[in-house]
Each structure stands twice: as C-alpha cells, then as structure tokens.
Amino acid sequence: MSRNKLWSTLAVLALVALAALLVAANDEQQGGDHAAAAADDTAAAAAVEHHDAAPAAAAAAAAEAEDNTNVASIPSSQSTELQVDRQLQLKLNGGNEIEIDQDQARNYVELGWQIRDTLGNRIKSHQSIAVDYTLDRRMRNGEVGSYEVVYIASDESGEVARNSRIIVVTDIDECDPERPRHQCSPYATCHNIPNSYECKCNDGYQGDGFVCVDIDECDPENPTHQCSPNAKCHNTEGSYECECLPGFRNTGKGYLVDGADECVDIDECAEGTHDCSVDGICHNTVGYFECTCKPGFEGDGRSCSPGM
C-alpha cells in the first residue's frame, strides 16, 4: 500500500472516532435534561399532593371539633381576638332568676357561670377573663326581697360580656309548728312577720314573750280576777278558778260578768235544806239561814222545847 493511501485511511478513522465522541456527549446532555425534567415533575406532583392534603386535614379537624359536643377549646390568640371583638357570652348557672330562703341568703354560695362564644359553645380556656359581681348588703343579711346582681366579665382589653340575675329571698316562717325555729317561751304565742317573728305571752302570763311568768290573778293586793264577791279565787298556772262560797250555788264559773253574779244565794228554807227544829222557823239570809223557835217554844231554833 502506498503511503498516500495509508494517510487517507488514518484520516477517515480519526473522523469516525471524533463523530462517535460527539454523539456520546450529546446523548449524555440530553439524559441530564430528561433527569432534571423528571425531578421537576416529581416536585410539582408532590406540591400538588401536599396542597390537596391541606383542605382534607382541615376538614378532618373541623369534623373532630364538631364531635366535641358543644365545647370548643379556643387557642389563646383566637380567644384574645374574640375578647377584643366582644364576641363572648356570659351564661349564668342556675338561670337568670333563682329563689332562696333567708338562711341561704345569709350563707349565699354563687352558682357560677360559663364563658361561651356566639354559637353557644363553652370556652374551656378563659383564664385571662375575670368575672366581677357585688351582692346587696341587705341580701347578705337575709332580708326578704328581690335583688338584681350584675355580672361583668372582662380581660386586659376591658369588658367582654355581662349578664344579670334576680335573686328572690323568701321569708322563713319561724313559727311553723312542724318546724319551729323561734325562741318564744312555752307560755307564749309566736307570730311570724317579714324577716323575723314576735313572741307574745299568753293570757295569764306576763313577760317579754321569751320569758313568761304566771300572773296571780287572786293576789289580794292586786286582784285581776273576775270572781263573784260570793266566791273564792284559786290561782292556777296561767289562769284561775272561782269557787262559790257555802250558801251560794254556781250557775256558771263563779264569775261576776257584766253585773251578773254567777254565785246565787241558796234559799235553804225554801229548799228544805236547813236544820231548824220542827218547832222552829227558818229565816233565809244571803248565803245562809237562821232558825228561831216558834212562839211558845224556847231554844236556839235548832232545838226548841215548850216554854215554861
């Protein structure tokens, strides 16, 4: 082979090798572009998947909140926003009107309250909210009446809610015989009055109602009885009795009432209850009788004999 032909062959081989190198380099660059595009597609798909998952998570959280029956736990930031916007409600336990007796008023125990949102859901996290109220002094003293108590809820931003309650204080009947709570004397009568009671000594007793002592109506220096002048007074516990004297008959209780004497004279002579002699004569007197002998007889009237 001539030298010129050899060089021609070598030149062709060099061109073929250079072409192969150029093809390989081009293929590698295209592979890299495809890999980058694939990576971009993967990232975009992941981003789309993450975007679609957010609403689902929010929906799941909302469903879980709905399952929490009427109770919402609001984060402090959201709670603060509600407070500033004055979107809270103050619900009073027991209602807006209650009735208690005087003892319950003197030892009043607040029934409490709940902080709720505008939908009526109770808010559990409200440590920053304070509720202030003032009780009427008369109510704390147990005075019967109707009292309004105003409750004001506030936080660092000011008032966020308010409500009021009517407290009706009812009277206790201290004189109730089935449940007496008075300190009246056993010889007194209890009279219930608003916010208290009164004690009055019964007839026949004297005192302040808490201490009652018997009145001696038969006291000769200060008689207060109504016995007949023809009767004897006998004092009893809380009262007295009248006993007609001998020679008088009791037609009632032995009283002298409106001028009517219930102790009337007994006419022993007319009734034949005397003890005069058969030869004597009976003479009736007020409360008694006398005997004299008949003419021609001598004696004291109870014993008579013929005269000399």
What rounded mean pLDDT belongs to the chain?
79
SS3 6: helix
pLDDT at 100 over 80: yes
Q: Does domain 76-170 have CATH number 2.60.40.10?
A: yes
**Range 200-205 contact pairs with CB under 8 angstroms and sequence separation of 24 or more:** 202/238, 203/238, 203/239, 204/237, 204/238, 204/239, 204/240, 205/238
Topology annotation, domain 266-308: Laminin (2.10.25)
Structure confidence by residue, pLDDT tens digits, 146-179: 999 999 999 888 899 999 999 999 999 999 999 9
- Look up residue 233 and give its amino acid: C
72 contact partners, CB below 8 Å, separation of at least 6:
65, 117, 121, 122, 123, 124
Residue 83 near residue 157 (C-beta atoms within 8 A): yes
Residue range 216-265 in CATH 2.60.40.1730: no
* Side chain identity, residue 258: D
- 179-213: string of b/e by CB count within 10 Å (b at 16+)? eeebebbebbebebeeeebebbbeebbebebeebe
Domain boundaries, the chain: 76-170, 173-214, 216-265, 266-308
Q: Which CATH superfamily is domain 173-214 in?
A: Laminin (2.10.25.10)
What global pTM score does this model have?
Answer: 0.50
266-308 matches 173-214 in CATH topology: yes
Residue 188 has pLDDT above 70, yes or no: yes
